[in-house]
Structure 1
Amino acid sequence: MQLNAIRQVYDGQAPFVTIYLEGRSPAEDARQQVRLRWDELRGRLSEEGASDPVLSQLDEAVLGAESGEVQSNGRVLVADATGIVLDEAWDAALGAGDAAHLSDEPELGAFIRERERSARLLVAIANQHGAVVRQVVVSDSQTVDTQAEGVVSSDSESVHKPREGALSHKHIQRRADEVVKQNVRDVADHLDAVAKRWKPDLLVLAGEVQGRTALRDELSAALRDDYAEVTSGGVSDDGAEDALADELHRLAAERSDEAARQRADQFGTATSRGLAAEGAGRIARALEMGAVETLLLEYDRTGTRESELLAASVRTDAEVSLIDSQVDDAIAAILRFEVPDQ
């Protein structure tokens, strides 16, 4: 994970308040349940010394949400001495429950793990008229969260070709071909713009064979380098939607497995060359020297001094990833250059 996306959080003024609100099934008393849960967290933070102005801003952010929003999605919020600096959905299906922290650095290990376990898929369900474009996050808990959806099409002209092939119809057919091609170009331009802004892990082309084939041919060079096509599923009915969701789960799992294999290979190679480190103390020294290329967190175990080392990684332009084996202090690193032992 590139940490630049959350760099502004770490540029804030300490102390930091970090809140995790677990996602739960919506209920009639959802708003009251959120209030009760927040009151408990708020009281704990107040006792630990969180300032009243910051807690008041968190009141508004937490209690101002739509009735079922927190229950269905879960949220992570971070506030510094000046106000809220992060407010994001997170996959509370990981089961960690509600949590509140007052600390010198943001406590974002759980949030980063969730992001690393998720796949961001830019999905285009194409036909000759255009495409339904979705920004989808497939999480480790196998949920599919559509963060945004739009339809790119042109209804101003018919794209149906004449059934007969007479010469008098050739102009109509050529015009229909031009409309189809322009629709496809519009979709490709839209995908390129969304990809530059949202930075998906993978582009997925779905829908009718003709539609997705035409769209594939119009993709920009950047998108053509990394995309997948699925042959089943769509948006015509619930069955098609379910089939598409299954395909997205499969692609996300393949992506995650391949990333895990690559990380294991990279860590093994780095270890053999003396460019790997384990344990909080050695990694802290490496970060002080600017030697950490990628900080590695265990999947399910919080690392010693984790929030401190994550903050130092952000501020030295290191990346962060997950490792599926046990390491000293549950934290390791791939180094840019060798760091001597002390």
Structure 2
Amino acid sequence: MRHTADAVRVLLVVADQQEARFSAVTVATEGDAAEDSTPPQEGGSAPHRRVRHRSATVVDQNAEDFDTTAADALRRTSPDLVVLAGEVQGRATLRSRMPDPLSVPLVETDRGGVTDSRARHVLDEELLQLATRHAQHKQRDDASRFHEAQGHRNTVQGSDQVLEAAESGALDMLFREAGTAARQEARILGAAARSGAGFALVPHGTGLAGGVAGILRFSPGG
């Protein structure tokens, strides 16, 4: 559960001459998540983040089935972020043919491409930057969500209370603070997964007691 919390799924769409290349990309932290969740510098890539290209589909930008290809790619990838890359005119064509509205953010870049290894490397570096900013924004949003629930006295903090809530099925959303290691973390993660609770990272410095907290479905005490 924790190993995928900071992963960002990207649908990369590159305008390459008259073609559009759809790629499913994951930007994720390698290694142990508690160890590698050190907060990145603002605007920089997080330590040990890697770009993984999983699959690619190429279609003519003006093809009649472009809309279907785009919709299929969105459904298969279930992205957190859509990135349009390539030269300006090509991106404009792609943008005009993408489903509207999109349920996820769309950003554009003119850095890098797919023509050679150097262009691909530059594009990967740009994806790292874009995905890192997206992950940072999501962490801040999740922290705000937790603080809002605190105002309704619908939260727990600390390993013992969170574990009790998870084991009773009362835990709706589990929060872990980046850059911390919670006591009994393995038991908490296992119980949360079995109960169907969601999982989110919040920024380092949020101040969760013991580095872990949760929003409740109901009071564990009944």
Q: TM-score w.r.t. structure 2 length?
A: 0.77
Structure 2: gaps spanning 5 or more residues: 29-45
Q: With CA pairs under 8 Å and 6+ residues apart, which has the higher RCO, 1 or 2?
A: 2
Residue 93 (structure 2) pairs with residue 186 (structure 1): no
| Distance change >3 Å, CA 230–CA 224, structure 1 → 2 | farther
Tell me if structure 2 keeps the 8 A contact 1:130–1:187.
no
Residue aligning to 1:152:
59
What is the deviation of 1:240? 2.4
Residue aligning to 1:117:
6
What is the deviation of 1:340? 5.6
| Distance change >3 Å, CA 264–CA 224, structure 1 → 2 | closer
How many Å separate the matches in 1 of 2:51 and 2:73? 19
Structure 1: gaps spanning 5 or more residues: 1-111, 154-179
What is the deviation of 1:290? 3.3
Residue 81 (structure 2) pairs with residue 202 (structure 1): yes
Residue aligning to 1:275:
154
What is the deviation of 1:258? 0.5
Residue aligning to 1:143:
50
Tell me if structure 2 keeps the 8 A contact 1:124–1:131.
yes
Give the counterpart letter for 1:191 in structure 2: A
Residue aligning to 1:332:
213
Aligned-partner SS, 2:65: helix
Pair member with larger Rg: 1
What is the deviation of 1:329? 3.9
What is the deviation of 1:204? 0.8
| Distance change >3 Å, CA 192–CA 222, structure 1 → 2 | farther
Aligned-partner SS, 1:150: strand
- Paired residues in the alignment total 202
Aligned-partner SS, 1:223: coil
Tell me if structure 2 keeps the 8 A contact 1:287–1:316.
yes
Root-mean-square deviation (Å): 2.6
- 1:1-342 → structure 2 map (5 Å cutoff): 112-127=1-16, 129-139=18-28, 140=46, 141-153=48-60, 181-182=62-63, 185-221=64-100, 223=102, 225-323=104-202, 324=204, 325-338=206-219
Once the two structures are aligned, what percentage of the paired residues are identical?
30
How many Å separate the matches in 2 of 1:295 and 1:314? 10
How many Å separate the matches in 1 of 2:49 and 2:211? 25
Tell me if structure 1 keeps the 8 A contact 2:139–2:200.
no
How many Å separate the matches in 1 of 2:9 and 2:131? 8
Q: TM-score w.r.t. structure 1 length?
A: 0.53
Tell me if structure 2 keeps the 8 A contact 1:296–1:322.
yes
Deviates most, 297-306 or 117-126:
297-306
Aligned-partner SS, 1:181: coil
How many Å separate the matches in 2 of 1:235 and 1:127? 8
1:161-201 Cα distance to aligned partner (Å, 9 max, x none): xxxxxxxxxxxxxxxxxxx532xx53442232132123111
Tell me if structure 2 keeps the 8 A contact 1:188–1:215.
no
Give the counterpart letter for 1:130 in structure 2: E
* Structure having the larger proportion of residues in strand: 2
What is the deviation of 1:205? 0.8
How many Å separate the matches in 1 of 2:26 and 2:76? 15
Residue aligning to 1:5:
none
Tell me if structure 1 keeps the 8 A contact 2:171–2:215.
yes
What is the deviation of 1:122? 1.0
What is the deviation of 1:152? 2.3
| Distance change >3 Å, CA 292–CA 222, structure 1 → 2 | farther
What is the deviation of 1:113? 3.3
What is the deviation of 1:339? 5.0
